[in-house]
Structure 1
């Protein structure tokens, strides 16, 4: 099956982790993929993987928190594939400098907000007119389980991902009339290479995630559903992917 045949997907943060898994999964299902990443080498390597497997992809480099850079990424993608049908906002993430509101630096707070929340806003702002012109679209924004339940120790990240969640619901209402769907994935722990390096099998998260922590392919499979026409009546949804941690 090629569930995304004839569609073009733009994936930010596509060079590594969840973004990379989504790029490969989308391409496997027939999508042409614009692989956007801050690291040109990472984006290029993923594109090579796609092409080697018989798919179509182009790399674009830029910073989602910079308007000029976003304009250039979107324009480069459109030049390659003439439009954008799917937008997956995967760029961003927290850092070890995060913490409680009383402790974290304001520089770290604004860095996180600018990349995770403002970056998502900028990508949507620039891609939605393209989707309107094309007559439809699917936007998939990545929030976090932290935005859905109470957690400790990452208040900047929680705030940014909470903003992504709320903004996505508003966007779903705003653009439904244009047949543009906006949905949110809210993963818990995802065992990317970076995360797996410090979360060992004896970590309590394995007990709390009663089905086990997610892997990048699990997120990619959910993203595929939201990107495809199988979810044509789904918008404004917030889908948890946490191995059952939030019901533990």
Structure 2
């Protein structure tokens, strides 16, 4: 277990799930990850619910802010200056969906898309740095952009966050791109293949578990779905793509 006190620019630092029934979602994720839920009582917080492990914040759940918003997980990338980052997003061909705004004293954020349409958040820490734990079951392990335009996405994230990209061959064919900050891997990029169907460009969040197959069984037992796997990634671990009962997709890895 490792406590986290800060994140470098560009590293995925937080994730939250948007669902219509936050209380039921909190119960589902409690069964899966052992998370404890605490809803912010302030009316202006809009029902935002912190999800914690061992007293440390690791994720959150929130009701949709607009009618018709489909359930989904959002990955947030760390920034030392959200306003400057949104400027670079526009310069690099992205779109700012929510202009930078303060979230109480917790921090400052924005929501944007890359040129291929993948949505992500940008988080400038205040009192809330993001996930306070890493490296144990029930914590954010990784995040990757799954894109329909690898070249455009790779250029975009390099320009906005200063990523250095390192491509590596995958056992099943194709390449996986690892984004690095100061020589440290922080996120990934995977091009969506023709066999994926209608999956749009997106950021996918990956949570660590003690046993991938047991986690998949728990997802199914409590109304979720298995979308892919479980499968081995040589030198990395065993993973699966799943969805909660509302359809919000995410990954689990051992």
Give TM-score, length-normalised by structure 1.
0.32
Q: Which has the higher strand share?
A: 2
Q: Which has the higher helix share?
A: 1
Give TM-score, length-normalised by structure 2.
0.32
